[in-house]
Amino acid sequence: MSPPTLSAVFSHAEPRPMQVGESRIRLLEAIRDHGSIAAAGRAMGLSYKGAWEAATALNNLFARPLVVARPGGRHGGGAELTAQGLAVITAFRRLEGALAVLAGDLDRALGGSPDTPETGPLLSDNPTAGALDLMRRLSMQTTARNALRGTIAHLIPGTVNTEVVIDLGDARLTAVVTNGSVRSLGLDGGGEVTALIKASFVMLAVGEGALATSADNHLPGTVTARHDGPVNSEISLDIGGGKTLVAIVTRDSAERLELAPGIAASALIEAHHIILALD
């Protein structure tokens, strides 16, 4: 099994109160120790929904899931870490020690330090700013609710745009980007990429089997959760391979389609609604 990359550990889908690296690793450790997402969330002062969203976001960034939940809902069931999840914790903790040494070296080189007062800050007007601040500034943040990591299967170039087909494991996504973006990002077959999709861009259809639709992407799955607001509903869809898509639909639509956990549904996504990002 290939070791998880440092970039995969630090990547995340959207800015949230819980920080990406240390806190999400502590969540994995809490799930390992308590045997459920709900109990792990309570131990960290998180709601069940917040802990569940963080766990699914991590699953979406790896080829194999880190957390596997057992049926039972909010007050029952449980969850456990896979071998991949345990490997991520081990890799992260080993990297912490090495990064602490590296951060000290970078602080002296980039931000100045008592050891080198004549150097001064090179990247900030704040004399106390250093490597860790630089890492936070360079970390990708996005408001896209869905961040799915995959491998580029192949590219289909056109006159102006290129179709990029992304292998997610049990599913595939097709995105359309400009030829200029392909060149600037250096997109190529076999490379890893993260697909960013706003929840409002995910349409849902109920039923099994092939659907006649003009949407470029048709991902069948099963509804795992529904959270209603006064106007809209948030629907979580398991699309296989440990990957979850979240859609925002009107509450009227959710009720009309009778969307509920266990219902078979499909996510419909236009290719031009997908943004591609590299580490």
Give the pLDDT mean for 243-254.
95
Query: What are 175's strand-pairing partners?
Result: 164
Instruction: Of 86, 99, 97, give the one whose Cα is nearest residue 4.
Output: 86
CA dist list (Å): 65 to 58, 248, 265: 8, 24, 21
Higher pLDDT, 94 or 208: 94
Instruction: Of 247, 192, 199, give the one whose Cα is nearest residue 223.
Output: 247
pLDDT tops 70 at residue 11: no
- With 0.75 as the threshold, say if the pTM is over it: no
Per CATH, which fold does 143-279 belong to? OB fold (Dihydrolipoamide Acetyltransferase, E2P) (2.40.50)
- Tell me which CATH code domain 1-141 carries: 1.10.10.10
- pLDDT at site 71: 67
Domain spans of the chain?
1-141, 143-279
Give the pLDDT mean for 77-87.
89
Give the pLDDT mean for 114-134.
45
User: pLDDT band at 203, cuts 50/70/90?
Assistant: very high
Judge whether 173 and 274 are in contact, CB under 8 Å.
Answer: yes
Tens digit of pLDDT for each residue in 136-157? 444 555 667 898 989 999 999 9
- pLDDT at site 129: 44
Give the pLDDT mean for 258-272.
94
